[in-house]
Chain A
């Protein structure tokens, strides 16, 4: 029995790395455009060579993210059609039960901790937040990139609305990442100072016992069948390429 579990395959690690990089660039070039009247915003824009080059950097990073998002979806659809794997990111009834149990645990109302499968409700929430956020950002971003073309098939008022959505959704994403993701991946006492699994792909078996006992059991002992009714061997035996 190996002492670590391979939690993320190479494709997932590359996707995370690319998202992290583009997200940072997009925040760096996008937030100064939202808070353009602040001194720090003007300072960043100046360092980046003015608003025009700042925008071009933003657009290129945005296009990269758009391509990555489309590739992710394409991959998901391909897997869905091949029916070889289950979607471990799909929210289930268990996630809602887990969330309630987890909160009760935090509040000290119970000593029972949720037994998590491959992805916890927190991870699924962040994943779907990113998916929905990406779709909104890419769609509104393109409207703002090509306002003239956009206005030829949607009402003109959608353009300022897209600007409001783009700028607020972006700010919200920035908050979610800087508060929630940084906490869970760095500051949380469980992983402090740095959960490197998304870069190395590996998580120690010891941690897995605590964090994903249901998946571990399925991986190692053919126990119990997952929520989709399939046995572990059918799902994990051949290759591990869950979406997400």
Chain B
């Protein structure tokens, strides 16, 4: 009996106390739950003054924050009919600063991000905290993960559409294995993809999943792709170019995305893939003008040189593996003998 009672008490305690969120302690919700309550901004936009109490209660902040913790300038007697904001964007910008009071680490990261950079240059539409996370209805990000890509797509519609058709995008709805936008672009310190810095990081970015044995086994994919890339010409050059930004007239070495594509990545066996063998010559020609039909064979398609896959490369490698120790060993031996005789002669 006691055990049943305990269980009942615990169950009740575990249910979020929906009726008693901290926001209610301030009487704000007495007025601000009326959905028809709006304010006419000078820009002609209507600013909604009512919030959805249920949605707020369910949000991550519902059980933690009182209204004035974000709306710090609001006292109880503020219904003067005056607002300093000219348009809705100004309202958003004014409250965006409030997030950093608690989320300082992520706020600091945004200062390195492309959204902040373009905002600093005067782009008013650049994403702020609440543009991605929401305001009163903030929930844990990435639940489900596809919500992230959907959220980015509200501004980046063109890229999102291409991504959705790609090998990653198609699987995103049903699988947590594939990357969503932020897995490659990062969330807060989102890298500017235009200056080449993001591209130069792709061996590491793509490699995070594509060198994961367990993950790749599920799809029958090789985990040698990064190592084989790095040991080739492009990988060497891109390693030495790391951190370099794309200056006009500069050519950076090909990285993963230069051959495989970015948002439109496809299975290598798919006829539409840029790395499918029939399309490879054209892909090489993007950088190597005039590449002949035999030119793509210069690239070993992420295979390690074995007697089967690349007998010539394997043969030359094998030859030097024997030749160098033989040569160096022989010479050192002769020097040693020479010195030995000099010592003996004394």
Q: Which residues of A contact B (CB under 8 A)?
A: 32-33, 36-37, 41-42, 45, 50-52, 54, 103, 105-108, 144, 147-148, 151-152, 154-161, 163-165, 168-169, 171-172, 175-176, 179-180, 183, 188-189
Expressed in whole angstroms, the Cα–Cα distance for A51 and B334 within the complex equals 38
| Interface pick from B82-90, B131-139, B155-163, B320-328 | B320-328
Q: Which residues of B contact A (CB under 8 A)?
A: 230, 232-233, 236-237, 239-241, 244, 250-251, 288-292, 294-300, 305, 310, 312-313, 315-317, 320, 323-324, 327-328, 331-332, 334-335, 337-342, 344
Contact (Cβ within 8 A) B312 A36? no
A residues in contact with B237, CB < 8 Å? 51
Contact (Cβ within 8 A) B312 A161? yes
Expressed in whole angstroms, the Cα–Cα distance for A156 and B324 within the complex equals 26
Contact (Cβ within 8 A) A160 B300? yes
Contact (Cβ within 8 A) B297 A172? no
Q: A175-B327, A179-B332 are in contact. Are A147 and B295 (CB under 8 A)?
A: yes
Contact (Cβ within 8 A) B240 A148? no
Contact (Cβ within 8 A) A172 B292? no
Shortest CB-to-CB span from A149 to chain B, Å, is: 8
Contact (Cβ within 8 A) B239 A160? no
Q: A106-B337, A152-B294, A175-B324 are in contact. Are A160 and B331 (CB under 8 A)?
A: no
A residues in contact with B316, CB < 8 Å? 161, 164-165, 168
Contact (Cβ within 8 A) B289 A157? no
Shortest CB-to-CB span from B100 to chain A, Å, is: 36
Q: List 9 A-B contacts (CB under 8 A).
A: A36-B239, A36-B240, A51-B241, A106-B340, A107-B341, A155-B312, A157-B310, A164-B305, A179-B335
A residues in contact with B338, CB < 8 Å? 106, 188
Partner pick for A106 among B240, B294, B296, B341, CB 8 A cutoff:
B341
Expressed in whole angstroms, the Cα–Cα distance for A161 and B324 within the complex equals 16
B residues in contact with A50, CB < 8 Å? 240-241, 244
Tell me whether chain A's interface is mostly helix, strand or loop, or mixed: helix
Closest to B342 in A: A189
Partner pick for A157 among B230, B297, B342, CB 8 A cutoff:
B297
Contact (Cβ within 8 A) A164 B337? no
Contact (Cβ within 8 A) A36 B342? no
A residues in contact with B342, CB < 8 Å? 189
A residues in contact with B288, CB < 8 Å? 147-148
Contact (Cβ within 8 A) A168 B327? no
Expressed in whole angstroms, the Cα–Cα distance for A175 and B320 within the complex equals 13
Q: A45-B240, A164-B313, A164-B316 are in contact. Are A156 and B232 (CB under 8 A)?
A: no
Expressed in whole angstroms, the Cα–Cα distance for A107 and B339 within the complex equals 10
Contact (Cβ within 8 A) B334 A103? yes
Q: With contacts A107-B337, A160-B310 known, what are 10 further pairs, Cβ within 8 A?
A: A37-B230, A51-B237, A152-B295, A155-B294, A156-B298, A160-B233, A164-B320, A172-B320, A176-B327, A179-B335
Expressed in whole angstroms, the Cα–Cα distance for A188 and B300 within the complex equals 45
Q: A151-B291, A159-B298 are in contact. Are A168 and B344 (CB under 8 A)?
A: no
Shortest CB-to-CB span from A116 to chain B, Å, is: 14
Q: A160-B310, A163-B233, A172-B320 are in contact. Are A183 and B335 (CB under 8 A)?
A: yes
Partner pick for B335 among A37, A144, A158, A180, CB 8 A cutoff:
A180
A residues in contact with B328, CB < 8 Å? 172, 175-176, 179
Contact (Cβ within 8 A) A105 B239? no
Partner pick for B324 among A33, A168, A188, CB 8 A cutoff:
A168
Contact (Cβ within 8 A) A172 B324? yes
Expressed in whole angstroms, the Cα–Cα distance for A36 and B335 within the complex equals 31
Expressed in whole angstroms, the Cα–Cα distance for A159 and B305 within the complex equals 13
Expressed in whole angstroms, the Cα–Cα distance for A159 and B240 within the complex equals 21
Q: A42-B240, A50-B241, A148-B292 are in contact. Are A176 and B331 (CB under 8 A)?
A: yes
Partner pick for B312 among A33, A108, A158, A175, CB 8 A cutoff:
A158
Partner pick for A171 among B290, B298, B324, B337, CB 8 A cutoff:
B324
